[in-house]
């Protein structure tokens, strides 16, 4: 990638001048309300209702076959009760992330789309890994996966006014790899997300695991990310023999698992 852009990015990061995108307002408020001690479906519905697109999304998921209810509800409050507060929070966050990563046309948009599509895939695979290995909460894995590479966003936005030739260079995104953990860390601190999620965005490129400790969200996402990034089936099969795979109770990823992953993508993306 172009060294002058890269150097300016490093400088801006180190001087804490990187412009960070704001988290969509309604989603931010809904997350706060859902996390408060006196959270209820009513109070969360009130916040979500302020964003019609977000409301439609929650209703759609609550009425999907995933939750197996025989009748459809048109009430946001019922929908939230059906899905549960924790899951609603995940849906709200994922939806907001999809809004943030809504790619415009051109080379700049293509970079954002690449990160978004990869994140959706890591989220869905993380979900399937947890469903299969039962070592961790699948719902949380979905959120961690969606968020893990969000650090690329401010870096891509930083380069927005660069010429198309710079942005369409295939080495552009890989060139940001060493910076995206730090940028993601800043962004999630700014959004006031939990330490667990900060850890995911900061350290998901490491496959290190402590066999003694409980499974962490960072470990689940790191494993799913490495599998999605595996260059060939041999590399993927090596990963399923790692200490981390054993900790997650995974010894292989079958065709059925991959089909399940695609199914999850259709539900949540």
- Give the interface with Fe ion as residue ranges (CB under 5 A): 149, 225
Nearer to Fe ion, 149 or 162 (CB): 149
Min CB(234)–Fe ion separation in Å: 20
Min CB(178)–Fe ion separation in Å: 10
From CA 145, how far away is CA 88, in angstroms rounded?
A: 16
Nearer to Fe ion, 110 or 225 (CB): 225
- Outline where the chain has alpha helix (H): 3-14, 25-35, 41-48, 52-62, 76-83, 85-100, 106-133, 138-147, 152-158, 164-167, 172-175, 177-190, 195-203, 217-229, 233-239, 243-247, 255-268
Nearer to Fe ion, 146 or 245 (CB): 146
Nearer to Fe ion, 93 or 225 (CB): 225
For 179, the token pair is 């910076």
Min CB(247)–Fe ion separation in Å: 20
Q: Cα angle at 251 between 249 and 255, to 5 degrees?
A: 115
From CA 252, how far away is CA 135, in angstroms rounded?
A: 15
Nearer to Fe ion, 51 or 149 (CB): 149
Min CB(172)–Fe ion separation in Å: 15
């Amino acid at each position: 990638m172009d060294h002058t852009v890269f150097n300016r990015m490093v400088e801006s990061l180190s001087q804490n001048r990187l412009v960070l995108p704001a988290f969509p307002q309604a989603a931010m408020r809904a997350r706060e309300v859902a996390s408060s001690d006196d959270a209820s479906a009513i109070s969360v519905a009130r916040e979500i209702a302020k964003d019609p697109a977000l409301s439609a999304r929650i209703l759609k998921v609550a009425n999907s076959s995933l939750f197996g209810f025989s009748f459809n509800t048109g009430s946001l409050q019922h929908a939230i009760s059906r899905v549960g507060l924790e899951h609603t929070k995940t849906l709200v966050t994922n939806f907001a992330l999809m809004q943030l990563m809504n790619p415009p046309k051109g080379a700049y948009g293509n970079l954002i789309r690449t990160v978004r599509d990869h994140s959706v895939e890591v989220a869905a695979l993380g979900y399937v890994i947890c469903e299969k290995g039962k070592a961790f909460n699948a719902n949380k894995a979905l959120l961690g996966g969606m968020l893990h590479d969000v650090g690329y966003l401010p870096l891509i936005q930083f380069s927005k006014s660069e010429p198309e030739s710079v942005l369409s260079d295939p080495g552009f995104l890989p060139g940001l790899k060493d910076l995206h953990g730090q940028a993601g860390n800043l962004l999630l601190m700014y959004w006031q997300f939990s330490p667990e999620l900060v850890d995911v965005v900061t350290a998901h490129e490491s496959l290190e695991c402590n066999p003694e400790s409980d499974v962490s969200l960072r470990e689940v996402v790191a494993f799913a990310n490495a599998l999605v990034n595996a260059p060939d089936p041999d590399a993927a099969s090596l990963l399923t023999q790692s200490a981390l795979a054993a900790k997650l109770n995974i010894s292989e990823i079958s065709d059925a698992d991959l089909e399940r992953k695609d199914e999850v993508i259709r539900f949540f993306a």
